[in-house]
Structures are given as C-alpha cells and as structure tokens.
C-alpha cells in the first residue's frame, strides 16, 4: 500500500495525504521516505504551484511511531533523526506554498509537520498535541523553532511544559493556526486557500519565504542541537518510563531512583 497518496484536485494543486488510516496516519519510515520523494517531485514539477498536506480518512496525523523508538540504540536513534530532519529541511525551505489541512488531530511529529506549512487550515474541534515531556522526550521536527516563531517564547515554553492539548479556537488565538473551519469543511477550505496561493508570483513568493525564514543561516531550525538532544532522550531511562506509562495508560514517574 502506498503510504502517501498524491492527486491534483485542481489545476496546479498537488495534494499529498498520509495514508495509514488504521494507525491514525502515524509517521513511520515509509511515510517519511515517500513524503520526501513526493515533495521533491512537486517541487521540481513546473506545473505544480502549491502543495496541500493532509491525512487520509479525515485525520491529519497521530504523530511519530512510538513503538519503533523503544529500545533502539543511539546509532539507530541518530539515523532516525537524520531521516526526519532531511524531510524537515525540505519542508522548511520548500520554494512553493504549503497548506496544511489539520483535521481531528495533529500530535507530536504530526503537529511538527503541520507547523512547517505556510498556511494552516484547522478544524474548530481539531487538536494540536505536544506530549514530548510526558514521554521523556524533547520536541522535534523543528517545533522548538516553529512554535516559538508563531506563538512567542513565553507561550511556546508554556505549551511544551504543559504537554499542551490545543483545540482550534485556542490554536488560532495563539497563531498556531491561520484559518478555522467546521471540521467537515477543512479540506475544502485548504484547497480554496491553495488555489489562491497558486496564483501568487512564485519567484517573489520563494524569495519572501526565504527572507522570513532566515534561509541564509546554516541551521535556522537548530536541527543539529535537536538531533543530539533527542538521541540522548530516546536512549535514556526517561523515555523508557515515559513510553511504558503511555502504553499502560498511567502517569509517568520520572523521579524514581533520582
């Protein structure tokens, strides 16, 4: 089964959907690889002027595939981060408009994917989830930068410390979503936004985007720092406890033995 579905619902609009509905569109290795390839193809296709990101079955993404992190080595964790950052870097510097259609939930890595878009259309009852500290992890997918850029330092700090669950209205107020719609209308509105963005002058757009995102910096998203911190967390005892608590549906206890 293709992990990424691609179509063109309107002229010049490429829609890419994560296609793991049974796993609530969790992001695994095949998703990362296929999404990267699909984005490269859209970037290089002169016919495509805007890309819409979403999830099959009316759900954006439940985030990273946590079971695949449990018990892996530092080398494996580092390779996993490098694979993810390859995709994050492509999204961050993508020269064409990106629209995220956030339906129902965007958790963890799913929230990271959504927040790399230029325009975020979110359902009024949809939720952004940031559960990293609860799991003994640090935010990844560039979230320490994207949330801070959109919501400001103080709010970003609060969001991560609180393992926040943020519904549509609050997300819009915080700047984490740009447009709110009833849940059933999210994809339709995302395609409408994409059509408007596709009409922009693409060269001027890409230059504006590069300027706003400080593309001249060697590592504007601090991905090297993020990778080292997350590798240390994935291979440490706190993630072991955090993931066990997640599986057992109980609060994590990070103070035992400290």
- 129-177 pLDDT tens trace: 999 999 999 999 999 999 999 999 999 999 999 999 999 999 999 999 9
Share of the chain above pLDDT 90, in %: 81
d(CA 72, CA 81) in angstroms, rounded, equals 12
Strand locations in 127-255 (E): 127-129, 165-167, 179-181
Is this structure's pTM higher than 0.85? yes
Distance separating alpha carbons of residues 50 and 46, to the nearest angstrom: 10
pLDDT 10s digits, 96-118: 999 999 999 999 999 999 999 99
pLDDT at 181 over 80: yes
Length of the chain: 258
Q: Tokens standing for 178?
A: 């740009």
pLDDT reported for residue 257: 57
List all residues 6 or more positions away from 58 whose beta carbon is below 8 Å from its beta carbon.
103, 104, 183
Question: For the domain 4-184, what is the CATH code?
Answer: 3.90.226.10
Of all residues in the chain, what percent carry a pLDDT higher than 70?
Answer: 97
For 73-82, 190-199, 218-227, which range has the lowest pLDDT when averaged over its residues? 218-227
């Amino acid at each position: 089964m293709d992990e990424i579905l691609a179509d063109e619902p309107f002229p010049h609009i490429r829609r890419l959907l994560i296609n793991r509905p049974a796993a609530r569109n969790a992001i695994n290795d095949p998703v990362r690889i296929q999404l990267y390839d699909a984005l490269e193809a859209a970037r290089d296709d002169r016919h495509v002027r805007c890309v819409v990101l979403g999830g099959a079955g009316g759900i954006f993404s439940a985030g990273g595939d946590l079971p695949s992190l449990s018990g892996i080595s530092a080398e494996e964790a580092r390779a996993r981060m490098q694979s993810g950052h390859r995709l994050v870097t492509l999204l961050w510097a993508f020269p064409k408009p990106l629209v995220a259609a956030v339906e129902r939930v965007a958790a963890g890595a799913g929230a990271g994917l959504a927040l790399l878009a230029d325009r975020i259309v979110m359902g009024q009852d949809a939720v952004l989830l940031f559960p990293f500290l609860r799991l003994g992890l640090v935010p990844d997918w560039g979230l320490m930068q994207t949330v801070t850029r959109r919501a400001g330092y103080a709010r970003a700090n609060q969001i991560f410390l609180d393992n926040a669950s943020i519904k549509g209205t609050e997300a819009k107020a915080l700047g984490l979503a740009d447009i709110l719609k009833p849940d059933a209308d999210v994809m339709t509105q995302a395609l409408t936004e994409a059509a408007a963005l596709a009409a922009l002058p693409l060269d001027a757009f890409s230059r504006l985007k590069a300027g706003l995102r400080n593309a001249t910096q060697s590592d504007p998203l601090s991905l090297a720092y993020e990778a080292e911190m997350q590798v240390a967390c994935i291979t440490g005892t706190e993630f072991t406890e955090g993931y066990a608590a997640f599986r057992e549906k109980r609060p994590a206890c990070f103070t035992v033995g400290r």
